[in-house]
Structure 1
Amino acid sequence: MRALLKLSGLIDAVNDGIGKLTYWLVLVAVVVSSGNAVIRYTLNTSSNAWLELQWYLFSAVFLLCAGYTFLRNEHIRIDIVIGRFSKRVQSWVDIFGILFFMFPMTILIMVLSWPMFWDSYVSNEMSSDAGGLVRWPAKLLVPVGFFLLTAQGVSELIKRIAYLTGHRDEPGEKMHSHS
């Protein structure tokens, strides 16, 4: 169990680091969006590349921060229902949800999105809009984001099993901080 908890700590550190780095993409998206609006309204010109860059950045923030959001317990939960139960019951509900809902969904999305990315990469797919960007970086975000979310699911699963088997202290408030 000690090795699994180290793996969990490594996954947590990776998602925490990626999440904190991704914060900066929000700033970049705001600057790009603001700059695009200023240029469009003052110089009466625009570029599809800037518009596409905005949605690439938004997609990156959303997809790359999914694992970070799960780590920080900021995802959507059913706390109204399970918040009344003991931490042990809450851990069992989390284990069930991770195994039977989260993993099937995230793994399926990773498996289905990889060929779409690969085809786009191999063909160097470009946007159909004039002046648009290459598409494969945006398509790569999907399997990468869902991989990070799946990895965080593994980490959370390890932590709950460790708690239930007595290898880790009570999950504490971080595990269920929102009601």
Structure 2
Amino acid sequence: MKGLLALSRIIDAVNGFIGRKIAWLILVAVIVAAVNAIVRKVFNVSSNSWLELQWMLFGAVFLMCASWTMQVKEHIRIDIVNNLLPRRVRQWIELLGHLLFLMPFCVLIVYHSVPFFLRSYEINEQSLSAGGLPQWPAKGLVVIGFVMLTFQGISEIIKQIAIMRGDLADDELHGGHAAAEAEAQRLLEQAKEQGLAS
């Protein structure tokens, strides 16, 4: 298990590093959008390439930060229902969800997106809009993003098995939304105590 946990740490480190760097593209997308809007309003000049660049930057962030988002447990989960269940049941749901849903989905997307990207690259597919950008880089992002997510899924499965075996601490309160929930619960309890005291 130690070797698998070492592999998991490597995957986490790589995906975390990439995710933290790629997340800055949101700022670039905002700057591009602002400059595009200003140029269009002030100089009455417009280009589809600027609009498509915004889409590609957002797509890059969405696809290449998904694995990092999962790693830090910020992905969408049904926490209201999940928190009502015993810890062991939650652990099994997490493991089976990764094995039966996440991994097959990721493998399927990678399997179909590779030829989709290669065909686009081979013909140097261009935008249908006048002055638009090449389309193959965006299709390549789908492949890269889902390969990263596949590896992160493997890492999460390794960690979940280690947690269930007792080889790794269960860090359920991990991630910003969990911290926010804990703080909200603390404030609610504090308000109740003050209400009872007055």
Question: 1:100-134 CA deviation, whole Å, 9 max, x = no partner?
Answer: 11111111111111111000111111112111111
The two structures, once aligned, show a CA RMSD in angstroms of 1.6
Residue number in structure 1 paired with 2:10: 10
CA distances 1:132-152 after superposition (whole Å, capped 9, x unpaired): 111111000111111111111
Deviations 1:17-73 (A, max 9, x none): 111101210111011100000000000011111111010001111111110110111
Q: Structure 2 stretches of 5 or more lacking a match?
A: 182-198
Q: Is the 8 A contact 1:87 1:171 kept in 2?
A: no
Equivalence map 1:87-106=2 (5 Å): 87-106=87-106
- Greater C-alpha radius of gyration: 2
Residue aligning to 2:178: 177
Q: Deviations over 1:72-98 (max 9, x none)?
A: 111111222221233322111100100
**Identical counterparts, % of pairs:** 50
Unaligned runs of 5+ in 1: none
- Residue 172 of structure 1 and its aligned partner are, at CA, apart by 4.0
Greater relative contact order (Cα 8 A, min sep 6): structure 1 or 2?
A: 1
- Which AA in structure 2 matches 1:13? A
TM-score, normalising length: structure 2: 0.85
* CA distance in structure 1 between the aligned counterparts of 2:131 and 2:45, rounded to whole angstroms: 13
Which residue matches 1:151? Answer: 151
Name the counterpart of 1:57. 57
The 5-angstrom pairing of residues 45-124 of structure 1 reads: 45-124=45-124
